[in-house]
Amino acid sequence: MATISKKSQLMPASAIRKLVPFADEAKSRGTKVFHLNVGAPDIKSPTVALDAVKENTLDHISYSNSAGLIELRKGMVEKYYRGIGIDIELPDIITTVGGSEAVNMALAITCDEGDEIIVMEPFYTNYNTFCFMNGITLKAVHTDIRSGFQVPPVEAFEQLVTPRTKAILLSNPGNPTGTLYSKESMLALGEVARKHDLFLISDEVYREFCYADEPHFSAMHIPGLEQNVILLDSVSKRYNLCGCRIGCLISRNPEVMKAAMKYAQARLCPPIYGQLAAIAALDTPPEYFDAVKQEYIARRDLALRRLNAMEGVYSPVPQGAFYTVAEIPVDDAEAFAKWMLTDFRMDGCTTMVTPAKSFYKTPGCGVNHIRLAYVLDLPLLDKAMDVLEAGLQAYPGRTL
């Protein structure tokens, strides 16, 4: 019998999606599953984007330029990035198949097999997956839930730098923590990158969702680091167009962009209909974002109020994105998440959360942490909190 490769056998499963079969089985038995596990909000996409797809007059769907439709790239440069103070030119941007391809490209461009990337843990679990795919060693600086997962002193990064270190990779605001990194923290990371001539790869897909008084500070604004910064972005969260699979990679470094184009050519082109929706989404009125932001703040406040009122549960208040990481009173968060789907029901309902162990690199960390996405409307989110609280009280592996 033919066997699959050792690499594919060792490929990490998605912490966010690997429990989906248990959720599907629960639904098949008539259970209502409240999905708090995945960042797929129920917010409606902008009408202009939906109409662009519905009303298009294409009679032939062909390839676009591998870098993406020029109308999209020009629109992103002129209507979006320059509007938020990021001054880039057309050669500095390539359209990718979602933000995920942008991450994978950035890692492949900056690292050879055996090289090292530094991240802060907890980190977006697919960073680990993409490092594995590219033969890169991921090294983690620990951040603490009790400090709101803020950036540690630069010495923690310096200690991990070796001759094989090529980049620092971060998400700002953070997935899974919702942490918003301050201007001072970003400048400090920039100094580490400058001192050791590292790339600073900044995943900023949640930029629109910042809830602190302090504005978002992009890595592209770090002075004197223009050749080292690679910006990763996506329309998925900003415009609620997750299924369009349109992202981008941006750098002022011409060698980075030359290499990115080779990877873009290898996968031919991004999806055409997704690009059409993204072009139109650039004309989304400001009031759309104002309403969405206020909705997320209300959801965050409800989720955090309910979580921190549960016995033995602690979650810091996230200042960005639409996630939080919570410490819960269980022996193993993954076993708990699975048990909620297989064994627990309250009024015919259960919840699906993401166990957070896979968001950590340090052994033993995150065993009793979950990531929760507050992506349901307020009544459903409140009900989901009722179910989660009841499940925590009934769980056989409860540690209180």
pLDDT digits (tens, 9 = 90+) for 104-113: 999 999 999 9
- pLDDT number for residue 12: 86
For tokens 């139109």, the residue is 280
- pLDDT number for residue 98: 97
Instruction: For the beta carbon of residue 119, count every other beta carbon within 10 angstroms.
Output: 22
Q: Is the pTM of this model over 0.75?
A: yes
| CATH class for the region spanning 6-44+287-394 | alpha beta
Tell whether the model's pLDDT for residue 145 goes beyond 80.
yes
With beta carbons less than 8 A apart as the criterion, state whether 205 and 236 touch: yes
Name the band, by pLDDT with cuts 50, 70 and 90, for residue 230. very high
With beta carbons less than 8 A apart as the criterion, state whether 276 and 74 touch: no
- 88, with CB counted inside 10 A (0-12, 13-18, 19+), is middle
Tell whether the model's pLDDT for residue 38 goes beyond 90.
no
Helices (H) and strands (E) counted in the chain, each on its own, are: 13, 12
- pLDDT number for residue 14: 77
* 97 vs 363: CA distance, rounded Å: 33
- pLDDT number for residue 79: 95
- pLDDT number for residue 337: 97
pLDDT in tens, 347-395: 999 999 999 999 999 999 999 999 999 999 999 999 999 999 999 999 9
* 99 vs 238: CA distance, rounded Å: 12
Tell whether the model's pLDDT for residue 16 goes beyond 80.
no
Average confidence (pLDDT) over 322-335: 97
pLDDT in tens, 206-228: 999 999 988 999 999 999 999 99
- pLDDT number for residue 194: 97
Average confidence (pLDDT) over 222-236: 97
Tell whether the model's pLDDT for residue 91 goes beyond 90.
yes
Domain edges within the chain = 6-44+287-394, 57-281
* 172 vs 178: CA distance, rounded Å: 8
Least Cα distance to 207 among 170, 243, 244 occurs for 170
Tell whether the model's pLDDT for residue 318 goes beyond 80.
yes
For 397, phi then psi, to 5°, come to -95, 20
User: Distance from first CA to last CA of the chain, Å, rounded?
Assistant: 49
- What single DSSP character describes residue 145? G
Fold of 57-281: Aspartate Aminotransferase; domain 2 (3.40.640)
Tell me the Ramachandran region of residue 356: left when phi exceeds 0, alpha when psi lies from -120 to 50, beta otherwise.
Answer: alpha
With beta carbons less than 8 A apart as the criterion, state whether 296 and 133 touch: no
Name the band, by pLDDT with cuts 50, 70 and 90, for residue 43. very high
Average confidence (pLDDT) over 282-303: 96
Residues 6 or more apart whose Cβ sits within 8 Å of residue 358: 12, 15, 125, 128, 366
Name the band, by pLDDT with cuts 50, 70 and 90, for residue 275. very high
Residue 314 Cα distances to 73, 103, 145, 200, 210, angstroms: 43, 31, 9, 31, 21
Residues 6 or more apart whose Cβ sits within 8 Å of residue 262: none
Q: pLDDT > 70: what percent of the chain?
A: 100
Instruction: For the beta carbon of residue 30, count every other beta carbon within 10 angstroms.
Output: 8
Task: Give the least confident one: 37-46, 164-173, 188-197.
Answer: 37-46
- Locate all alpha helices (DSSP H) within the chain, ordered by sequence: 6-10, 20-28, 47-54, 70-75, 98-110, 125-133, 154-158, 183-196, 254-266, 272-281, 286-309, 333-342, 378-394
Tell whether the model's pLDDT for residue 154 goes beyond 80.
yes
94 DSSP β-pair partners: 249
Is there a shared CATH topology between the 6-44+287-394 domain and the 57-281 domain? no
Tell whether the model's pLDDT for residue 331 goes beyond 80.
yes
Name the band, by pLDDT with cuts 50, 70 and 90, for residue 166. very high
- pLDDT number for residue 333: 97
